[in-house]
Amino acid sequence: MNFVFVSPNFPLNYRRFCDRLSRDGATVLGIGDASYDSLGADLQASLAEYYRVDSLSDYDEMQRAVAYLISRHGAIDWLESNNEYWLEQDARLRTDFAITTGVDTAGVARFKSKRGMKAFYERAGVPSARSCKVSTQAAAADFVREVGGYPVFAKPDVGVGAEGTFKIEDDAGLASFFAAKTMVPYVMEEYVTGDIYSYDAIIDQDGTPLFESSCCFPPSMARIVEQRLDFTYCTLPEVPQQLRERGRATVASFGVRARFVHMEFFRLEQEHPGLGGPGDFVGLEVNMRPAGGYTPDMMDIAHSTDVYQIWADMVCHGSRTLPRSGDDQYCVYVGRRDIHTYRHSFDDVLARFGGDVRMSGRMPDAISDDMGNEFFMAREPDEAAMEAFKGYALA
């Protein structure tokens, strides 16, 4: 099997996907913009060949790279980056080179549009916030009245993370939004309060989950980024039952096959007409790639497993060969920012909780706005122990 992995060196943990593919017997062919010497011995060992491009955004250059690898190794069976930023380009390359194991150009559109996702939630029987396309200020004002008033939430119809999102709380805020809005298409949604829970899964080629997990995130990443707050979230020992059911229904509605997925849901704090009651899960958005940052490693820590291997087994064998461990706890992430002063040093945290901390270090600058500059990931048996760790590390 010939597998082209786009940008195998970033994020750093993605080299584990390449390693596991190589272990499973795949010929892993990398395309990236970093020099070969900078990849590190472990990634170099996983790659049968590496083609460096000046820019991953230059489609002509990417086409030449794939054509060259085909001339050297024969037909490509898989092409993937597992990266939100490159999903459309991945699909275009698959279409142009007749690679049929992933989403093509026609299919990727239904994964990218936040407005377009609503029809799939409805088909799945999963409630989601009402929304409208943001066209004129008058139409937006009509929508605000339709959903019972402010606040409302505006976000790019196609986008990653909290970038470009706005909470609009009054008429003045609505006017300011339209005065500043770029030409990027936006959608506006009724405002829903509650923490964000993910449904993370590795889906096989028949649409069946081989692995399932869930993380709990704070309700507003935009606020964390804008106000430069500390960031913490956790992977749960078990997926809540309603979330599992709604996650699986959403997978089926979108027709997901042979992918690692990260789907986000609100867990309602209070009764919300048309959506549900306290504790119910409401569809937020679908991402057809692994959760960001080191979240896949948090899943490994929480569930005593190897999601990189499970994914590679799905690709190479169509099934899961790694058995379930049955050893599940919380894994909590704590991200600290260089602009803040903490009561306990990095070394203090490791000295106090060294037996619990499974990963720690510095975050790459490219994702530090969201994730913080230095981080700890600790495995804890219950919520009380998790809160004790967070309290000490963030004091």
Residue 5, sorted as left (phi over 0), alpha (psi -120 to 50) or beta, turns out to be beta
- Per-residue pLDDT averaged across 251-272, rounded? 95
Instruction: Give 42's pLDDT tier (boundaries 50, 70, 90).
Output: very high
Give residue 160's pLDDT: 55
- Closest to 222 (Cα-Cα) out of 243, 196, 187: 196
Residue 182 confidence (pLDDT) above 80: no
Residue 161 confidence (pLDDT) above 60: no
Are 361 and 318 a contacting pair, CB within 8 Å?
Answer: no
Residue 312 confidence (pLDDT) above 60: yes
Residue 162 confidence (pLDDT) above 70: no
- Alpha-carbon distance of 265 to 281, in angstroms, equals 6
Q: Which has more confidence, 299 or 293?
A: 299
- Per-residue pLDDT averaged across 125-153, rounded? 92
Task: Report residue 351 as tokens.
Answer: 């000295």
Instruction: Give 45's pLDDT tier (boundaries 50, 70, 90).
Output: very high
Residue 19 confidence (pLDDT) above 80: yes
- Alpha-carbon distance of 154 to 165, in angstroms, equals 6
- Integer-rounded Cα Rg, in Å, for the chain is 21
Q: ∠31-32-33 over CA atoms, to 5°?
A: 145
- Per-residue pLDDT averaged across 262-275, rounded? 94
Owner of token pair 């996983």: 46
Strands (E), the chain: 2-6, 27-32, 49-52, 78-80, 131-133, 152-156, 166-168, 186-190, 194-203, 209-213, 215-217, 231-235, 259-268, 281-287, 330-336, 357-362, 374-380
Are 364 and 307 a contacting pair, CB within 8 Å?
Answer: no
Q: Which has more confidence, 4 or 223?
A: 4
- Closest to 393 (Cα-Cα) out of 338, 339, 333, 308: 333
Residue 183 confidence (pLDDT) above 80: no
Phi and psi angles of residue 276, each rounded to the nearest 5 degrees, phi first: 145, -170
Instruction: Give 136's pLDDT tier (boundaries 50, 70, 90).
Output: confident
Beta bridge pairs of residue 283: 128, 265
Express each pLDDT in 186-235 by its tens digit. 899 999 888 999 999 999 999 999 999 999 998 877 678 888 889 999 99
Give residue 159's pLDDT: 63
Task: Report residue 5 as tokens.
Answer: 């992995």
- Alpha-carbon distance of 316 to 310, in angstroms, equals 10
What is residue 14's three-state secondary structure?
helix
Express each pLDDT in 350-371 by its tens digit. 999 989 999 999 999 988 988 9
- Closest to 380 (Cα-Cα) out of 347, 357, 359: 357
Residue 29 confidence (pLDDT) above 60: yes
How many Cα atoms sit within 13 Å of 266 on the Cβ side?
Answer: 22
Mean pLDDT of all residues belonging to the chain? 94
Name the percent of the chain lying above pLDDT 70: 98
What is residue 67's three-state secondary structure?
helix
Are 375 and 336 a contacting pair, CB within 8 Å?
Answer: yes
Express each pLDDT in 75-121 by its tens digit. 999 999 999 899 999 999 999 999 999 989 888 877 777 888 899 99
Read off the pTM.
0.92
- Of 109-123, 272-286, 301-315, the one with minimum mean pLDDT is 109-123
Are 375 and 334 a contacting pair, CB within 8 Å?
Answer: yes
Residue 149 confidence (pLDDT) above 80: yes
